[in-house]
Amino acid sequence: MSSMTLTRKTPDNLSISRLCDAFSFAPILASAHAQEWGHLYENWNQSVALADFEMEKAGSDLPTTWVIHHPSGSLMGSISVVKDDLPNHPELNPWLASLYVFPEFRGRGLGKLLVQQALDFLRQQKYPHAYLFTEDQVPFFAKFGFSIHTPAQANGHLVTVMKWTDSATPALRAR
């Protein structure tokens, strides 16, 4: 197995796995993502979200989604790294996307663990920068080194595009 497919244990004995290695979580995750962000994409729903998850392949770099789950089998949250997340911005890639923690598990630092997982992956793959867009979480993402890049629209909704630059990556690499 490549290092991208290994399950990682957290200090609380939770597991962070690639979704392609724990695909039984995909239907419930697709439903949660569609409910949370369906308004930001034209014609995007649970079926489309599930089809997006099916594009992830073990051993590949993008797209990839990680899920955090409890040993009991409870899905707690997710984060993705994808290409072309915001329509009309093809020049911006890759994207940190879909940070989601189920409501009953919020306030426990799981979002922080997931963002760190995604940033570790970006560093490992030598991506010198990444983008995300958010409707209202600028202060949260700023804690990880993301800065405001530009305002934008996502399906008619105002969002803020943020950019992260890896200060440890010596040379920019085109992807």
Determine contact, residues 93/63, Cβ cutoff 8 Å. Answer: no
Does 148 map to a domain?
A: no
What's residue 59's pLDDT? 80
Q: What is the pLDDT of residues 66-109, one digit of tens each?
A: 999 998 999 999 999 999 999 999 999 999 999 999 999 999 99
Q: How many domains does the chain have?
A: 1
The structure's pTM equals: 0.89
pLDDT mean across residues, the chain:
91
Does 54 map to a domain?
A: yes
Determine contact, residues 127/172, Cβ cutoff 8 Å. Answer: no
What's residue 1's pLDDT? 32
| pLDDT classification of 61: cutoffs 50, 70, 90 | confident
Give all strands of the β-sheet with 129-134 in edge-to-edge order.
8-9, 15-18, 64-69, 75-82, 95-101, 129-134, 157-165, 147-154
Amino acid at residue number 110: L
Does 78 map to a domain?
A: yes
CATH code, domain with 65? 3.40.630.30
| Residues spanned by the domain of 88 | 8-126
